[in-house]
Amino acid sequence: MHFAIWIPFGDAEDQASRDHAGRLVRAGLSTLAADFDVVKKAVPGGSGQGFLYTWRRPGTAPGNPLQLSWQDSLNGLYRIGVGPCLPSELQRNITLPGKTLVLGDNQLWLIPVPERLPLTVLMTAQGLRFEPVHIYQGLAVDREFLLEANRWRQEIINGITEAKFDSLYEFCIRALLVNYRLTPEVINHLQLFHTENITDVFLTIIGGYDLRQKLRDQGVLL
């Protein structure tokens, strides 16, 4: 088992509620609010009983959450148990197309590249219009992620001169969440990003290495 989430019981109404997805959303885990198993259980370090959430790829055996290393979440709303994690265990059942890169854990991760997505063809009174797809192979596409990738690309084309590292980091994490089930704690545990690979991930997402020279020409990259 790669990781598990434990959310403590609230009031009696919360304990009886079957809105398990909503409980994850309220804990700041909206990207994990699907395809989970949930049971009522106590975990190491938790205050009594709570809801234990687990995720696993089809065909894999369930693990023992008590064998994980448990810690409080960064936002204080849940506890998370983390064990050895491979990209194949964390990958979503449906992924967006992209390019594989080796990240900080020395494993290959599929980085989504929005430009590789097909476009939806719409008929209008003025003729055909092309828009980014909303659904890809049954997966609801994060439209805000697509728009953000396009904004970054346009800023580079238009001559961006600087970018905050925090903004690049948050964008790269958002991209990784498209194809993988992850939390901030798991990303920290695996040490996926560092100051040398963040640029490669960023450029892969927004269109590839063809933009690297343009960034160098603009003095953004050495």
- In tens digits, what is the pLDDT along the chain, a chain of 222 residues? 689 999 998 877 777 888 999 999 999 999 999 889 999 988 888 778 899 999 876 655 556 887 899 999 999 999 999 988 899 999 988 888 899 999 999 999 999 988 877 778 889 989 888 877 777 777 777 888 888 888 888 887 777 667 788 888 999 999 999 999 999 999 999 999 998 898 889 988 887 545 555 555 555 554
**Helical residues (DSSP H) of the chain, grouped into ranges:** 12-16, 20-26, 87-90, 143-157, 165-179, 184-190, 198-206, 212-217
CA distance 99 to 122: 28
Q: Any long-range contacts for 75-78 (C-beta under 8 Å, 24+ apart)?
A: 75/27, 75/28, 77/7, 77/26, 77/27, 77/28, 78/5, 78/6, 78/7, 78/8, 78/27, 78/29
| Residues 66 and 165 placed together within one structural domain of the fold | no
- What pLDDT score was predicted for residue 209? 46
| Residues 99 and 67 placed together within one structural domain of the fold | no
Q: State the total domains in the chain.
A: 2
Q: Are 134 and 142 in contact (CB under 8 A)?
A: no
Q: Let me know if residue 183 belongs to a domain.
A: yes
> How many CB atoms lie under 10 A from the CB of residue 186?
17
| Residues 203 and 142 placed together within one structural domain of the fold | yes
Q: Let me know if residue 198 belongs to a domain.
A: yes
C-alpha to C-alpha distances, 114 to 151, 161, 167, 207, nearest whole angstrom: 12, 23, 18, 8
Q: Let me know if residue 194 belongs to a domain.
A: yes
| Residues 101 and 192 placed together within one structural domain of the fold | yes
Look up the domain containing 177 and give its range. Answer: 90-217
Q: Let me know if residue 25 belongs to a domain.
A: yes
- What pLDDT score was predicted for residue 102? 96
| Residues 135 and 102 placed together within one structural domain of the fold | yes
| Residues 118 and 36 placed together within one structural domain of the fold | no
- What pLDDT score was predicted for residue 135? 79
Q: Let me know if residue 31 belongs to a domain.
A: yes
Q: Let me know if residue 9 belongs to a domain.
A: yes
Q: Where is the domain boundary, 69, 84, 99?
A: 84
Q: Let me know if residue 50 belongs to a domain.
A: yes
- What pLDDT score was predicted for residue 105? 94
| Residues 125 and 163 placed together within one structural domain of the fold | yes
Q: Let me know if residue 222 belongs to a domain.
A: no
| Residues 101 and 175 placed together within one structural domain of the fold | yes
- What pLDDT score was predicted for residue 14? 77
| Residues 79 and 95 placed together within one structural domain of the fold | no
* Angle at alpha carbon of residue 88, lines to 90 and 118, rounded to 5°: 85
- What pLDDT score was predicted for residue 146? 84
| Residues 180 and 137 placed together within one structural domain of the fold | yes
